[in-house]
Amino acid sequence: MKPGRHAIALALALMSAGVFAIDASDRYRSPRNPERPIRRTTELIVLHTTEAAARGSLKKLSERGECHYCVTEEGTVYRIVDRDREAFHAGRSMWNGKEDVDKFSIGIECVGYHDKAMSLVQLAAIRTLVKELQSMYHLGDEKVVCHAHVAYSAPNKWHKKRCRGRKQCGMLFAMPSVRRVLDLKKRVASDPDTKAKRLAVGDPYLEKVLYGNVDTMRGTYAKANIASAPKPAPSATDRLLGMFGLENTSSGQIKAPAPPKVEPSTSAPKGLKSKSAAKTKAAPKTTPTDRIPTSQADLKRRGYRLIGTVSPYNTASRIAGAKWNSPNTFYTIRNKVIPGNLINPAKIEKGMGIWAK
């Protein structure tokens, strides 16, 4: 079915509004979700390593709500805590003078170890997840750090001052060879907190890994490149465009596929008068349930009702509960209708209406 002008306009509007969705399993979704506060800002993506196998790690992460996502060795992504809420993943932490990094970051646990290589399958899944989160929250490559970047220690018998170097968690994600496979072209040049003398350097080797030229993975990934990694599943943006018969080109331009060529008929069917061309079969009509609702009136016709309006004291999670990001929940604002599974939490704003059945 050839996309109509309204369908194309809707797809482009959703694209320009920064609407994305992340493919993730809810199998290990944490029971701690309802009690976690909504995060006010997102300034960092923090990559961790579990330092343990997948099964035990996923159970612990889920029970305690210790990250937003977990990526296994096979490249499966599990959603642990909703991405608009705080996950308690960073512990004692500071970045650029701001403590408690949980309040302004997204935490991703990667099954594996800080000093051991990961497969390209897993790195491809991590890369896809990170890129979608970067797009959602408008974060540059230097805003993707590892736990070792932000963790710090309180004064102890080995160090009289607070110091960086409490954990080597996620250390390999600071190495240039790994970041190249993840398509992260920039990394943090120096530690803003040790530079400002808010923290002392507690682990000189770790500092060289994070900001120097120590790269223990260089030999492993010397010949690896992004093209050699397994092709990830289509992104949410590509799937959304595909719904309307559109595609996203390598240059970032959106185009519709060329219509198929129809060869004219050279002979008339037997028993019928000669025609210049046989009549083509009419395309099936699109029913209202085949498309995203386009207005509040359309929502009402389909049986949806307004269940609440977003305000500083009435958040989306409070209004719709666990179904705030369901495909059967819709957000309306300024004549736009956005499905819950495509809503960007960073763009949920005061005055948005939330509709459900």
- CA–CA distances in Å: residue 68 to residues 42, 108, 146: 13, 6, 14
DSSP E strands in 207-287: the ranges are 247-248, 254-255
pLDDT surpasses 50 at 313: yes
16 has a pLDDT exceeding 90: no
Tell which wins on pLDDT, 179 or 284: 179
With 90 as the cut, is the pLDDT of residue 3 above it? no
What is residue 225's predicted lDDT score, i.e. its pLDDT? 62
Range with the poorest average pLDDT among 191-200, 225-234, 332-341: 225-234
Q: Comparing 182-196, 199-213, 250-264, 337-351, which segment has the lowest mean pLDDT?
A: 250-264
Residue 274: what pLDDT? 47
Please tell me the predicted confidence (pLDDT) of residue 108. 98
Q: Cβ distance 74 to 14 under 8 Å? A: no
Residue 277: what pLDDT? 43
pLDDT of residue 242: 60
> Which tokens hold the place of 28?
């290990």
Within a 13 Å sphere around the CA of 248, how many CA atoms are in the beta-carbon half?
14
Among 50, 62, 58, smallest CA distance to 118 is for: 50
pLDDT tier for residue 243 given thresholds of 50, 70 and 90: low
| b/e 109-146 (16+ beta carbons within 10 angstroms → b) | bbbbbbeebbebbbbbbbbbbbbbbbebbebebebbbb
pLDDT digits (tens, 9 = 90+) for 28-67: 999 999 999 999 999 999 999 999 999 999 999 999 999 9
pLDDT band at 266; cut points 50, 70, 90:
low
Summarize the confidence of residues 4-22 as an average pLDDT: 53
Does residue 323 surpass a pLDDT of 60?
yes
Domains and CATH numbers, the chain: 17-228 (3.40.80.10), 292-357 (no CATH)
pLDDT at 304 over 80: yes
Q: List, in order, residues 6 or more apart from 262 with CB less than 8 Å away.
A: 280
Q: Return the minimum-mean-pLDDT range out of 68-77, 270-279, 295-304.
A: 270-279
Per-residue confidence band for 222, with pLDDT thresholds at 50, 70 and 90: confident
pLDDT at 199 over 80: yes
**How many other CB atoms sit within 10 Å of the CB of residue 226?**
13
Greatest mean pLDDT among 7-16, 51-60, 231-240, 283-292 lies in 51-60
Residue 80 has pLDDT above 80, yes or no: yes
Average pLDDT score, the chain: 83
Quick one: average pLDDT of 78-93? 96
